[in-house]
């Protein structure tokens, strides 16, 4: 899995990164958003949704568990925060064969006991951590697909976002 | 009682539902009428209505056979909700059948040994005689043709439910109240000792 380390200096940069990620997503992708409350998971999800013309716009799905959106591509936005730790994602509806037709964004994926380990070209992981100040965020982006990682890296650099190859 | 008896078969494990009517008595006993669906999203209830168009046809209904998964998240919920609703409305017994067992039996009928059922973007359910397990798309073995399996699925459900259907008819003939227990959905259990994090 390729890992990219990205520094976001403000909210606009977070939104910009969301747009860049959105343009690199394709049908069948599963995007995991990891980070504490207030780390910017939903902000990033919203930016991705906005870039894909999501209708209705993405909000926090904490109380819905999974919300479905039309757009340039179907989007499922899930939040496992309220699920008991170790929950079965099949029983919770986080795994659905219909998701192959669109992209699935899952917040708090660590709450779930996923049935498969390992990597996959359709798997993307974004971990958000606090930055140097209130609006800044550190992002670790892990992608199973090397070509996409490279393209994302290039696009982020072109947008003036600071990127380093992680390990 | 000399009225004809029928059973409604409902399953959603393949996503698009399986909706069929099985004759249990009378000259057509054993016959299956399947509500075909040109549109996969057409609701179970609409298709049930095409099988049970009249009061008389509904009066013949004696049991509901319902596939309880594992399978498509939305499909098995749609099928079991429809089953629970029809059973409650008409005061009928429900017979729960594991969908993977029916899929396996249907595959055997078309010469297959393994069914690979899409579950998610990365996950498939590999159904074999010995049991079912989740695997990654990439690691999955070859599957029996799902369209052919689907065509034999109502028949497989009818076979797997035959004993329970006979018992339900006998109980009804004795005037007993129908067995309508809660419909418990089944899942392939994830392997133990796996951290939540590593997908």
Can you give the pLDDT at residue B190?
A: 46
Asked if A84 is an interface residue toward chain B (Cβ–Cβ < 8 A), one would say no
Alpha carbon distance A28, B16 (integer Å):
19
Reported as a pLDDT band with limits 50, 70 and 90, residue B39 is low
For residue A113, the chain B residues in CB contact (below 8 A) are 190, 194, 196
Q: What is the pLDDT of residues A99-127, one digit of tens each?
A: 999 999 999 999 999 988 767 788 999 99
Residue A153 belongs to domain with CATH number: 3.40.50.300
E strand or H helix at B171, and its extent?
Answer: helix B162-173
Can you give the pLDDT at residue B182?
A: 81
Q: What is the mean pLDDT of residues B166-176?
A: 93
B198 has pLDDT over 70: no
Residue of B nearest to A119 (CA): B199
Nearest by CB to A100, from B121, B136, B138: name it: B121
- Whether B113 is covered by a domain: the verdict is no
CA atoms within 13 A on the CB side of A82: 10
Can you give the pLDDT at residue A115?
A: 87
Q: Phi and psi (nearest 5°) for B184?
A: -95, 120
* ipTM tops 0.85: no
Can you give the pLDDT at residue B38?
A: 61
Q: β-pairing, A30-34 with A103-107?
A: parallel
- Whether A69 is covered by a domain: the verdict is yes
* CA quadruple B84, B88, B90, B95: dihedral, nearest 10: 50
Q: What percent of chain A has pLDDT over 70?
A: 98
Domain assignment of residue B47, given as a range: 6-99+153-173
Nearest by CB to B136, from A93, A120, A125: name it: A120
> Domains in chain A: how many in total?
1
- Whether B66 is covered by a domain: the verdict is yes
> Domains in chain B: how many in total?
1
Reported as a pLDDT band with limits 50, 70 and 90, residue A63 is confident
- Whether A89 is covered by a domain: the verdict is no
Task: Tell me the average pLDDT of chain A.
Answer: 92
Nearest by CB to B187, from A91, A100, A123: name it: A91
Can you give the pLDDT at residue B197?
A: 36
Q: Are A69 and B160 in contact (CB under 8 A)?
A: no
Q: Are B22 and B158 in contact (CB under 8 A)?
A: yes
- Whether B12 is covered by a domain: the verdict is yes
Q: Lowest-pLDDT range, A16-20, B167-171, B190-194?
A: B190-194
- Whether B193 is covered by a domain: the verdict is no
Q: What is the pLDDT of residues A79-102, one digit of tens each?
A: 999 999 999 999 899 999 999 999
A22 has pLDDT over 90: yes
Can you give the pLDDT at residue B41?
A: 62
Asked if A81 is an interface residue toward chain B (Cβ–Cβ < 8 A), one would say no
Q: Are A114 and B190 in contact (CB under 8 A)?
A: yes
Q: What is the pLDDT of residues A141-167, one digit of tens each?
A: 999 899 999 999 999 999 999 898 764
Query: Using the 8-state DSSP alphabet, how is residue A94 labeled?
Result: S
Task: Tell me the average pLDDT of chain B.
Answer: 89
Q: What is the mean pLDDT of residues B46-73?
A: 93
- Whether A91 is covered by a domain: the verdict is no
Q: Compute the nearest-CA separation of B96 from chain A (Å).
A: 18
Domain assignment of residue A77, given as a range: 2-82+97-165
- Whether B69 is covered by a domain: the verdict is yes
- Whether B121 is covered by a domain: the verdict is no
Q: What is the pLDDT of residues B74-113, one digit of tens each?
A: 899 999 999 999 999 999 999 999 999 999 999 999 999 9
Alpha carbon distance A157, A167 (integer Å):
18
Closest CA to B63 of B173, B184, B187, B185: B173
Determine, for residues A115 and B134 on separate chains, whether the beta-carbon distance falls below 8 Å: yes
Nearest by CB to A123, from B15, B70, B122: name it: B122
- Whether B71 is covered by a domain: the verdict is yes
Asked if A115 is an interface residue toward chain B (Cβ–Cβ < 8 A), one would say yes
Residue B74 belongs to domain with CATH number: 3.30.420.40
């Amino acid at each position: 899995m390729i890992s990219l380390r990205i520094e976001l200096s403000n909210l606009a940069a977070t939104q910009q990164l969301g747009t860049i990620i959105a343009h690199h997503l394709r049908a069948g992708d599963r995007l995991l958003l990891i980070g504490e409350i207030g780390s910017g998971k939903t902000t990033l999800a919203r930016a991705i949704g906005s870039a894909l013309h999501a209708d209705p716009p993405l909000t926090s799905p904490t109380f819905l568990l999974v919300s479905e959106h039309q757009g340039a591509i179907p989007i499922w936005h899930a939040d496992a925060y309220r699920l008991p730790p170790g929950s079965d994602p099949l029983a919770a509806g986080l795994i659905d064969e219909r998701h192959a037709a669109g992209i699935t964004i899952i917040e708090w994926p660590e709450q779930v006991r996923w049935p498969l380990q390992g990597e996959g070209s359709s798997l993307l992981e974004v971990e958000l951590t606090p930055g140097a100040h209130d609006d800044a965020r550190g992002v670790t982006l892990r992608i199973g697909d090397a070509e996409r990682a490279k393209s994302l890296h290039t696009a982020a650099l072109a947008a003036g976002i600071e990127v380093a190859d992680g390990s | 009682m000399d009225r004809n008896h029928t059973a409604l078969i409902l399953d959603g494990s393949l996503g698009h539902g399986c909706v069929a009517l099985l004759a249990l008595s009378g000259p057509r006993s054993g016959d299956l009428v399947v509500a075909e669906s040109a549109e996969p999203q057409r609701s179970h209830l609409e298709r049930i209505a095409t099988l049970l168009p009249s009061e008389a046809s509904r009066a013949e209904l004696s049991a509901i056979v319902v596939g309880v998964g594992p399978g498509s998240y939305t499909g098995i919920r749609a099928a079991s909700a429809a089953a629970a609703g029809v059973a409650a409305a008409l005061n009928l017994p429900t017979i729960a059948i594991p969908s993977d067992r029916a899929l396996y039996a249907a595959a055997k009928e078309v010469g297959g040994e393994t069914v690979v059922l899409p579950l998610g973007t990365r996950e498939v359910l590999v159904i074999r005689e010995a049991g079912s397990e989740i695997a990654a798309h990439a690691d999955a073995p070859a599957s029996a043709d799902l369209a052919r399996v689907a065509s034999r699925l109502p028949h497989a459900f009818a076979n797997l439910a035959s004993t329970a259907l006979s018992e339900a008819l006998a109980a009804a003939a004795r005037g007993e109240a129908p067995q309508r227990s809660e419909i418990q959905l089944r899942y392939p259990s994830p392997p133990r000792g796996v951290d939540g994090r590593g997908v």
